[in-house]
Amino acid sequence: MTSLRVRRIVAGGVAAMFALTACDSGTDSAAPRQLSDSDRAAVRHALEAAVATGLAGVQVVVTEDGRDWTASAGVGNTESGAVFPDNAVVRVGSNTKAFVATAMMQLVAAGTVELDAPVERYLPGVVRGEGIDGNRITVRNLMQHTSGLPEYLELPELDVDYDVMLTQHHDAADLVQRALSTMPAHFPPGAKAEYSNTNYLLVGMVLERVTGHPVAEEVTRRVIEPLGLRHTYFPATGDLDLRDPHPQGYEPDNGKRVDVTRLDTTWAGAAGALVSTGGDLNRFFTALLAGKLVQPTQLAQMQRDTKPLTNRPAGIDYGLGLARLAVPCDAQVWGHGGSIPGFRTTDGVTAKGRAVTVVANQRPTDPTSTSALQHVFDTAVCAAS
């Protein structure tokens, strides 16, 4: 049994011994026309620099004018040396929240859910605990992380070996009940914004209560299927494997890489269980920000109601399932990001319509790797257009 621990397994928003390889998908004519040869060279250089910090592999997908350009460095499988596959299917962690928030905002537009209604209206008796009162916490508080609710990932029973997590099934309602009954509120509702995955387990539970359907079914029907996202899905119960083509996902453990590709993600649920690709994520965020998934009023609320997250790096203002991301150029970027055992993703769309997703098949654990991965995203976003 490996000693790898998996506490704090859904985040917000984050090797020299292997040959550094870069590959472009398609031909130059298929690449976004705004990316020049020098732009693509700069992105490839950033990819190679990220892998040189110790990451197994990194891939970027840039989507513009409906066309994708993909470049990768490192490997998708450290044993075989296979490259990071194009159109790689990966676990996208907290990007799930943006999909769930989109489905919820459709319900808001229909008048089925009120953002400023107390959670108690939809989940009577559920949101209770020390300093916790569902009559004072609104749906908006949950969606923008201003509820003050504790982090369910801090539960001792989730601080287990990877081999246990692999096959341990969890129920969202049970995780919420245990978290709220054993940990106090961090602050009064609305006092500040603190990222807590508990919020989105509850958003998913509200969605299920008012529709009568599982959150995975509602998100699939309302978001995934209308956009034709063929590689995006919630794993079914007992589905531990990723669909092909996929890289292996790795976690560092005592100087070694542990393959954590197979995983039961029922503990992540509406907070982070989704599987997708860079191309599908780009199409989702592009459609969302273009007003193709929610009404203008609801999209404006998702972007207007932003708060700086006090427990995340500076430069992330969180709205209702969307985050405004700081980049080193004058581009305005909205997106999200995700971290889950084996994978780290960062994604966003500029005001001019360039969508960028960066995927690593090993989560960075030090500032150097984290900065290098961010630099790949910044380079692709800020390339001349």
So which residues are the catalytic ones?
94
Residues in the chain: 385
Q: What share of the chain is helix, strand, coil (3-state, %, to 5)?
A: 35, 20, 45
| Tokens encoding 240 | 């531990």
Torsion sign across C-alpha atoms 362, 363, 364, 370: positive
Q: 152-158 long-range CB contacts below 8 Å, 24 or more apart?
A: 152/176, 152/178, 152/179, 152/196, 152/197, 152/198, 152/201, 153/7, 153/8, 153/9, 153/10, 153/197, 154/7, 154/179, 154/183, 155/179, 155/182, 158/6, 158/7, 158/9, 158/267
CA 262-266-271 angle, 5° bins: 110
Q: Identify whether the C-beta of residue 105 lies closer than 8 Å to the C-beta of residue 300.
A: no
